[in-house]
Structure 1
Amino acid sequence: MKDVQAFQHLGGRRYRENRGVFYDEFEVGDIIEHRPGRTVTETDNVWQSLLALNNHPLHIDHAYARTTEFGRPLVSSLVTLSIVGGMSTNGTSAKAIANLGWESIRLPNPVFVGDTLYAETEVVAMRPSRSRPTAGIVTFETKGLKDDGTLVVVFTRSALIPLGGGIDPA
């Protein structure tokens, strides 16, 4: 990644936190480790499950979940995706003009309450925007991992991101 600065000097001893990265600061092959991690709670799972109208008992009914192969409630995949997607935003698309889409989402392993998740993102493709000369499209592959390294989610998404000389929406 090209000289990304965490703070903008405003003068004297005053600084502004700089969120996100401009298009021309990325390079294909860059890998960003997103921190801090996030431990999934019972509240995360129940609230998101009910908010999304996902009332499958495997997510919200401990008695039912004990009768399954897992023996306890599974965290809803929407919770896992939301946490990992959110963790990746500052380092990938905080300056984005638009999130353009999700191409694939895979959930290879379950997540349980108490698991701590971390995320990392690789820049897999870049191209100038055909319709906006002051922006480009960056495609990312983001992985969510438990603290023991177990892969729990992987997805690809693209965002329209301004060039460094463009308007910073942040």
Structure 2
Amino acid sequence: MTDDSDTDDADEQTDKRLVEGWHGRYYEDFAVGDVYKHPFGRTVTETDNVWLTNVTMNCNPMHFNEAYAAETEFGERLVNGLVVIATAVGMSVIDVSVNATANLGYDDVRHHNPVFHGDTIFAESEVRSKRELESRDHVGIVETELRAYNQHDDLVLSLERTPMVLKREYAEPSAAEPPGWPEGIGTQPEDC
């Protein structure tokens, strides 16, 4: 029988390396007709609804008065539409606007079906158009349609979203400085 402990230790030693993660899409990465199914469904809680309803001073009792809502055609409180919009747009950021310099507009917003406490929202975005700007070389305009569904595949929201997105050559992404990280923070290439 041989002692493999020296070999095992050598096999376990690995070189440390800084690996790039997802940096989001840049203007060049968008193609008309592409559909991005955004990761992570999000269950909307009563706390989400009550909190944003109060923060925005939405005084419609349909969102915060259970006795009132019980007497309506829905029989219970509805989730505030701004909660649904904020959730769906937030879900889309990872695929559509991590590298946006501005959101230019949210248009044609439609609430197709009600959302209730405990519903889980899923969102996807379809690229409708894109165009370069004569006045700004470093960005382009991307128009998307954002659609949100509940766990029953009912369309609950649609809207058009228009971010102004950086071009890759101006962003200069790297493993050491992904979007949102200042220079010199955390592990650096020379640490590996």
Q: TM-score, normalization: structure 1?
A: 0.90
Q: List runs of 5+ in structure 1 lacking aligned partners.
A: 1-10
- Residue 164 (structure 1) shift: 1.3
Aligned to 2:80: 76
- Counterpart CA distance in 2 for 1:19 and 1:77 is 30
The reply to whether residue 27 of structure 1 matches residue 31 of structure 2 is yes
SS at match of 1:102: strand
Greater strand proportion: 1
Do 1:106 and 1:155's aligned partners in 2 also have CA atoms closer than 8 Å? yes
Q: List runs of 5+ in structure 2 lacking aligned partners.
A: 1-14, 173-178, 181-192
- Rg larger for: 2
Aligned to 1:62: 66
Identify the match of residue 112 of structure 1 among 107, 110, 116.
Answer: 116
Over the matched positions of the two proteins, sequence identity in percent amounts to 41
Q: Which deviates more from structure 2 when the two are superposed, residues 54-63 or residues 39-48?
A: 54-63
Aligned length: 160
Identify the match of residue 42 of structure 2 among 25, 38, 43.
Answer: 38
Aligned to 1:6: none
CA offset digits 1:102-137 (Å, max 9, x no partner): 121000100000000000000000000121112110
Question: What amino acid maps onto 2:129 in structure 1?
Answer: A
Aligned to 1:48: 52
CA offset digits 1:10-54 (Å, max 9, x no partner): x95322432320000110000000010000000000000010000
Identify the match of residue 87 of structure 1 among 91, 94, 97.
Answer: 91
Question: What amino acid maps onto 1:93 in structure 2?
Answer: S
CA offset digits 1:43-95 (Å, max 9, x no partner): 00000001000021110011111000000000000000010010001100010
- Counterpart CA distance in 2 for 1:32 and 1:117 is 15
Q: 1:128 to 1:116 in 2, by over 3 A?
A: same
Do 1:26 and 1:123's aligned partners in 2 also have CA atoms closer than 8 Å? yes
Question: What amino acid maps onto 2:134 in structure 1?
Answer: R
- Counterpart CA distance in 2 for 1:18 and 1:108 is 32
Aligned to 2:146: 142
Q: TM-score, normalization: structure 2?
A: 0.80
Give RMSD over aligned pairs. Answer: 1.4
The reply to whether residue 133 of structure 1 matches residue 155 of structure 2 is no
- Counterpart CA distance in 2 for 1:44 and 1:146 is 16
SS at match of 1:59: coil
- Counterpart CA distance in 2 for 1:82 and 1:111 is 13
Moved over 4 A (4+): none
